[in-house]
């Protein structure tokens, strides 16, 4: 790259923007590759300075220097990867396929650098002789293990194998994600007759009508994106159309077209096994779990089996209840997967006289946003001020300054609520910049929440279901983890914790979704201003354990599938669907659907960071139920309890071991009892 082109590339210029946030409007896809190539070379020089130093390796000149290396690269890459998930284009997808191998190779160049590893090991070998803070000890341990787990101790020939494996894995994971997005966007259910809309609430119809108009079509348009797919499956009286939708959803990635993910799943599983064996582990799960709270596949399997035993009686009771209800309402034959959400919602309505649609009018997106942000104010004393001068990557996004009393601004929060063609499905928290401390000054984290909530229509504002509001709370919990982080080192800050601990701050927030004391402070009908009637709030709380047996077993099935893929001891051969059904069968209570496959669209496993880690959601439920029980004892809005959770959990990031952090907050080891009680299960 020439000096002139460097000066013209906005990714490499000083960002003279509010809070030094990326000038998104100036960045086009063509800028990324030259900028990242330049940043990689700059980082190489910083690494070379560490290895070339004649000074005795110590914590400052080796470990801290390594932590700071690549600052420019770390500034640029989150922009690229976050936009690829939240606002992608074919051009951006092409660029990221080119760049991903470059980044993986550079990462390997660091961990496979023998002189750099020698220096890191020299410091680590003297760990007992150094006067380091607890956070410094954790950083040293993480850096050393990162090298060992990154192949640093391998022979030269094995290092080249390791390099090839990791490069291919990074490329295939991106392709997997692109394929799922393409498959999701590819399907449309276009309806033109009112008869086809039987059972669908007015709000769902309006959203479908707006979607059709946007595509220049008459009638109503339904898609596989959550705000369209989920309510259709819950409310449509047309069983044939529900079946069509479910089959389309379940066949994503296995239709034999250019977006088929079956070969990618097999190849990724094989590559992960190769990597684990190369590093001396029995399987990939053993490798991955070494750095998790659960620590071993055996411990995870035991945990999943314990929960399966506890939840199965409730799950079978849930199935029996749905089957009886369906029969009473004229359904002949067995209950299929495309029937579950439909009859489940109707039975919930009969039992509790409450459904997601009944609550929507009380939960405008604006109200929910104010309430969730306000909950953080009540618990943690932080406030949010919108700043329209902050650069944004899409016009729909809003940005907020996060203020913390006399401390001033401690973070920036971006909120991105609605589906777009270029946005992946689901909901997630991410960061454009991590928190750290530099020369005694706080580096502000820039946190983004990306969701796919129902849009407003010409006659109705965006109204969230209770489950969507729950999703908001969940992702906001991750955001709090990032925003309230108070660590020295970026690689230990915020959500940079062990994978099976990261869901605690998010899942504990979901508890407030069921609490009348909080809901009653803000939820009001968007037309009348009337609060949610008391009887509905009572029924809402009573419904907390409704179908919890089935829901728990469903999650356990996903976790069993994850562990099965990553405890393979030999390359996979055979039929993916047959394998999937066999390993998930202990947790399945509904008949399988021919032609569908979970693995090929399971982004958490094959495009996200949850390989051999999906059990972490249930693991974190144990932690969150136990942690929230302390709030329940002392008051769900108790500032003292919240201050302890902030100080011991949210601020610490990965600067301490998670079991130590939990004990500091709860005063003891976590207990599964609170989750069993909350779920309505009975111990055998």
User: Can you tell me the mean pLDDT for 145-153?
Assistant: 96
Mean pLDDT of 93-109: 95
426-445 average pLDDT score: 96
Give tens-digit pLDDT for 480-518: 999 999 999 999 999 999 989 999 999 999 999 999 999
What is the arithmetic mean of pLDDT over 506-532? 95
Annotated catalytic residue 475 = yes
Q: How far apart are CA 77 and CA 365, in angstroms?
A: 31
First to last CA, the chain: 68
User: Dihedral angle at the C-alpha atoms of 76, 79, 85, 91, nearest 10 degrees?
Assistant: -80
The whole-number pLDDT of residue 425 equals 87
DSSP 654: T
Average pLDDT over residues 430-443: 96
| CB 133, CB 140: distance < 8 Å | no
Question: Residue 54: helix, strand or coil by DSSP?
Answer: coil
Nearest C-alpha neighbor of 219 from the set 190, 257, 259 = 190
Contact 399, 390 (CB under 8 A): yes
Cβ neighbours of 449 (radius 10 Å): 22
Tell me: pLDDT of 8 over 70: yes
The strand pairing partners of 531, in sequence order, are: 524
In sequence order, what are the residues at sequence separation of 6 or more whose Cβ sits closer than 8 angstroms to the Cβ of residue 391? 17, 18, 21, 22, 23, 24, 25
> Please, are residues 276 and 181 in contact by the beta-carbon 8 Å criterion?
no
The pLDDT confidence band at residue 3, using thresholds 50, 70 and 90, is very low
pLDDT at residue 1 is higher than 70: no
How far is residue 471 CA from its own chain's centroid? 11
> Residue 5: which pLDDT band, with cuts at 50, 70 and 90?
low
Predicted pLDDT of residue 454: 87
Residue 308's contacts (CB-CB under 8 Å, 6 or more residues apart) are: 553, 556, 586, 587
Residue 2 has pLDDT above 60, yes or no: no
| pLDDT attached to residue 49 | 97
pLDDT at res. 609: 85
Look up residue 530 and give its DSSP letter.
P
Contacts of 125 (CB under 8 A, 6+ apart): none
User: pLDDT band at 317, cuts 50/70/90?
Assistant: very high
CA distance 427 to 423: 10
Cβ-count burial 373-405 (b if 16+ within 10 Å, e if not)? bebbeebbebebeeeeebbbbeeebbbbbbbee
- Any long-range contacts for 251-254 (C-beta under 8 Å, 24+ apart)? 251/595, 251/596, 251/597, 252/180, 252/183, 252/184, 252/187, 252/224, 252/600, 252/601, 253/179, 253/180, 253/183, 253/597, 253/600, 253/601, 254/576, 254/577, 254/595, 254/596, 254/597, 254/600
CB atoms within 10 A of CB 406: 5
Cα of 599 vs its chain's centroid, Å: 17
Give the residue from 507, 511, 503, 553 showing the smallest Cα distance to 310: 553
DSSP character string of 34-50: HHHHHHHHHHHHHHHHH
DSSP string, 249-289: HHTTT-SSSTT--HHHHHHHHHHHHHHHHHTT-SSHHHHHH
Q: Are 70 and 41 in contact (CB under 8 A)?
A: no
pLDDT at 58 over 60: yes
Mean pLDDT of the chain: 95
Q: Are 281 and 205 in contact (CB under 8 A)?
A: no
According to the model, what pLDDT value does residue 15 have? Answer: 97
**How sure is the predictor about 684, in pLDDT bands with cuts at 50, 70 and 90?**
low
Summarize the confidence of residues 664-675 as an average pLDDT.
Answer: 93
Q: What is the DSSP letter of 459?
A: S
Query: Are 232 and 196 a contacting pair, CB within 8 Å?
Result: no
What CATH number does domain 3-153 carry, 2.40.50.140, 3.30.70.1170, 1.10.1370.40, 1.20.1600.10? Answer: 1.10.1370.40
Asked if the model's pLDDT at residue 70 lies above 80, the reply is yes
Q: What gap in Å lies between CA 142 and CA 86, rounded to an integer?
A: 30
State whether residue 410 is helix, strand or coil. strand
Q: How far apart are CA 110 and CA 119, in angstroms?
A: 12
Taking a C-beta distance cutoff of 8 angstroms, is the pair 471, 427 a contact? Answer: yes
Q: What does the pLDDT average to over 653-682?
A: 93
What is the CB neighbour count within 10 angstroms for residue 212? 19
pLDDT tens figures, 328-386: 999 999 999 999 999 999 999 999 988 777 789 999 999 999 999 999 999 999 999 99
**pLDDT for 530:** 96
pLDDT tens digits along 630-652: 999 999 999 999 999 999 999 99
Q: What is the pLDDT of residue 541?
A: 87
Per the residue annotation, which of 183, 475, 490, 651 is the catalytic one? 475
Tokens coding 618: 């249930």
The answer for residues whose C-beta is within 8 angstroms of residue 241's C-beta and 6 or more apart is 189, 191, 196, 232
Q: At how many degrees (to 10) do helices 548-566 and 616-634 cross? A: 140
**Mean pLDDT along residues 62-80:** 97
CA dist., res. 593 & res. 609, Å (int): 28
3-state class (DSSP) for residue 220: strand
Please report, for the chain, the start and end positions of each structural domain, with discontinuous segments joined by +. 3-153, 187-250
């Amino acid at each position: 790259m020439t000096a002139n082109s460097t000066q013209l590339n906005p990714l490499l210029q000083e960002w003279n923007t509010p809070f030094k946030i990326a000038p998104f409007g100036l960045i086009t896809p063509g800028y990324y590759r030259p900028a990242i190539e330049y940043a990689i070379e700059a980082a190489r020089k910083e690494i070379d300075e560490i290895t070339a130093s004649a000074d005795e390796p110590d914590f400052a000149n080796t470990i801290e220097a390594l932590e700071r290396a690549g600052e420019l690269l770390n500034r640029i890459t989150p922009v690229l990867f976050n936009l690829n998930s939240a606002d992608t284009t074919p051009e951006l997808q092409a660029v990221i396929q080119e760049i991903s191998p470059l980044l993986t190779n550079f990462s390997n160049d660091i961990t496979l650098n023998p002189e750099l590893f020698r220096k890191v090991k020299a410091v680590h070998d003297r760990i007992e002789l150094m006067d380091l803070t607890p956070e410094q000890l954790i950083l040293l341990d993480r850096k050393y293990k990162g090298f060992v787990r990154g192949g640093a101790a391998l022979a030269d020939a094995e290092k080249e194998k390791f390099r090839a494996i990791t490069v291919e894995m990074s490329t295939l994971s991106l392709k997997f994600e692109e394929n799922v997005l393409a498959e999701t966007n590819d399907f449309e259910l276009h309806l033109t007759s009112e008869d086809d809309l039987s059972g669908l609430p007015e709000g769902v119809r309006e959203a479908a009508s707006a979607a059709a108009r946007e595509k220049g079509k008459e009638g109503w348009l339904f898609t596989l994106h959550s705000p369209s797919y989920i309510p259709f499956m819950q409310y449509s009286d047309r069983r044939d159309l529900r079946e069509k939708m479910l089959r389309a959803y379940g066949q994503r990635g296995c239709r034999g077209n250019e977006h088929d993910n079956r070969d990618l799943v097999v190849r990724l599983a094989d590559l992960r096994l190769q990597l684990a064996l190369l590093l001396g582990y029995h399987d990939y799960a053993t490798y991955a779990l070494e750095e998790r709270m659960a620590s071993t596949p055996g411990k995870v399997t035991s945990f999943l089996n314990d929960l399966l035993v506890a939840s199965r009686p409730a799950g079978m009771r849930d199935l029996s209840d749905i089957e009886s209800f369906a029969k009473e309402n004229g359904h002949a034959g067995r209950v299929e997967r495309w029937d579950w959400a439909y009859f489940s919602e109707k039975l919930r309505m009969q039992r509790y006289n409450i459904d997601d649609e009944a609550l929507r009018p009380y939960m405008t997106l604006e109200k929910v946003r104010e309430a969730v942000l306000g909950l953080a104010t009540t618990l943690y004393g932080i406030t949010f001020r919108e700043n329209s001068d902050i650069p944004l990557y899409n016009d729909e996004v809003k940005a907020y300054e996060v203020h913390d009393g006399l401390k001033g601004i401690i973070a920036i929060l971006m909120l991105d609520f609605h589906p777009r063609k270029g946005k992946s499905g689901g909901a997630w928290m991410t960061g454009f910049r991590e928190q750290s401390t530099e020369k005694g000054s706080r580096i502000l984290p820039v946190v983004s929440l990306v969701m796919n909530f129902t849009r407003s229509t010409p006659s109705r504002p965006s109204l969230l279901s209770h489950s969507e509001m729950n999703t908001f709370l969940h992702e906001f919990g991750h955001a709090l983890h990032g925003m309230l982080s108070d660590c020295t080192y970026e690689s230990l800050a915020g959500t940079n914790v062990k994978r099976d601990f990261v869901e605690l701050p998010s899942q504990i927030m979901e508890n407030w979704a069921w609490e009348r004391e909080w809901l009653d402070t803000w939820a009001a009908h968007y037309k009348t201003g009337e609060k949610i009637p008391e009887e509905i709030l009572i029924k809402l709380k009573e419904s907390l354990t409704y179908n919890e047996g089935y829901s728990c077993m469903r999650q356990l099935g996903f976790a069993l599938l994850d562990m099965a893929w990553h405890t393979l001891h030999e390359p996979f051969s055979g039929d993916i669907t047959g394998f999937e059904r066999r390993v998930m069968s202990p947790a399945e209570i509904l008949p399988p659907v021919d032609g569908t496959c979970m693995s090929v669209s399971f982004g958490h496993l094959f495009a996200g960071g949850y390989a051999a880690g999906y059990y972490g959601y249930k693991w974190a439920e144990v932690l969150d139920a136990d942690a929230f029980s302390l709030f329940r004892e002392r008051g769900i809005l108790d500032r003292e309890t919240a201050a302890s959770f902030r100080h011991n959990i949210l601020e610490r990031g990965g600067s301490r071991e998670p079991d130590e952090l939990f004990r500091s907050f709860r005063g003891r080891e976590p207990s599964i009892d609170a989750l069993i009680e909350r779920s309505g299960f009975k111990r055998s």
